[in-house]
Amino acid sequence: MSSPVLTHLVSDIVAGRLRVVDLTHTLAPEFPPIVLPPEFGESAPVRIEEASRYDARGPAWYWNNLSFGEHTGTHFDAPIHWVTGRDLPNNATDTICLDKFIASASVIDCTREAGEDADYLLSVAKLRAFEERHGRILPRSWVLMRTDWSKRASDPVAFQNFDETGQHTPGPDVEAVRFLVEERDVIGFGTETIGTDAGQASHLRPPYPCHALMHGAGRFGLQCLTNLDLLPPTGAVLIAAPLKIRQGSGSPLRVLALVAA
């Protein structure tokens, strides 16, 4: 039996009444990876090596061998990624309930604050101010922190923004994460930077609150998003399904947003 909703969805996309926005960076070796202090195990970089290209290795076909860490490029964080979420049910990329991969999104515009202060921390006050203008953040929805940080991606130095004290990138503060999980029941938090947490979040209490609290409550993360400036504050629908990696802690993925034209 057909559903009128699905019929309309497809016809609206075909007719251009709904736009599909790509929130994904191209997966490539030069895209900046997460960098940990060298004493820790490192993420494997993205590598694309030719198996053949219409040559002696394969005269009529071109294909590559791919390798990458689970947390490279635009990627999804599953609850099992963090120690706080390791014992939750359905906490990995292959066991998360499918219906959670499609959800609406609120986009909090922090471009001005992040432009003035690379270490900017999104606060509860900022979230409440958003809600006053655009309505209450919906349960089971994504909250995306727009900073326009993705516009730095062509300059890996500016994108990573390291100095001798580490990385300087914006993210949420502890109370904002707690508020989104406990009082708004969001499905996850997304950023344009390499982490869902701020670059200096190892100095927050607890360290890495977005990882510790979101994943500890079974919520997800999306990072290295782009084109958030093309989304409305509310009303976009995200399709964000990671690769079905057995016991995967995350995965590069294609993040699509459906928005009214």
Partner 1 sequence: MSASPPGSLGSGQRAKRRNPLVPLKPPSVPPSGRSRAAQGLTAAAALGILALQRCEDCGAVQYPPRDACVQCLSAKLRWRPMRVGGELLSETLIRHGQELFFRHRAPFRAGLVRLDDGPSAIVALHRDCEPAPSRLRVRLVLDKAGQALMIGLPEKDTPDMADDSLIRDTTCAPRARKVLITDAKTKLGRTMVEALLAAGAELVWAGFAAPWKPSPHLDALGALEPVTLVPLDVSDETSVRELAGSIGGKVDILINTAEYHRPGTISSRPGVETARAEMEVNYFGLLRLTQAFSPALKARAADAPVSSTAWVNILSTRALSNDPAHGTFSASKAAAFSLTQALRADLQASGIRVINVFPGPIEDEWNALVPPPKLSPAALAKAVVDALERGLEDVYPGEIAKDLIARFLENPKALERELSG
The site for partner 1 (CB under 8 A) is made up of 29-30, 32, 35, 38, 41-42, 44-45, 47-50, 156-157, 159-164
In whole angstroms, the minimum distance from the beta carbon of 188 to partner 1 comes to 26
Q: What does the block give as tokens for 181?
A: 């999980």
Rounded Cα distance between 255 and 228, Å, is: 11
DSSP classification of residue 131: H
Nearest CB to partner 1, comparing residues 120 and 159: 159
Q: How far apart are CA 222 and CA 240, in angstroms?
A: 9
For partner 1, the closer CB: 30 or 182? 30
Residue at 170: amino acid letter: P
Measured from the CB of residue 65, what is the shortest distance to partner 1 in angstroms? 10
Instruction: Please list, in sequence order, all residues whose beta carbon lies within 8 angstroms of the beta carbon of residue 195, skipping any fewer than 6 positions away.
Output: 34, 169, 171, 201, 208, 210, 211, 223
Phi, psi of 168 (to 5 degrees): -125, 95
Determine contact, residues 169/145, Cβ cutoff 8 Å. no
Q: Which is nearer to partner 1, 105 or 194 (CB)?
A: 194
* Residues annotated catalytic, as ranges: 81
Q: Closest separation between CB of residue 210 and partner 1, Å?
A: 21
At its nearest, how many Å lie between partner 1 and the CB of residue 157? Answer: 5
Rounded-to-10 torsion of CA 33, 37, 38, 39 = -140
Q: What's the DSSP call for residue 140?
A: T
Decide whether 20 or 44 has the Cβ nearer to partner 1: 44
Structure tokens given for 117? 């202060």
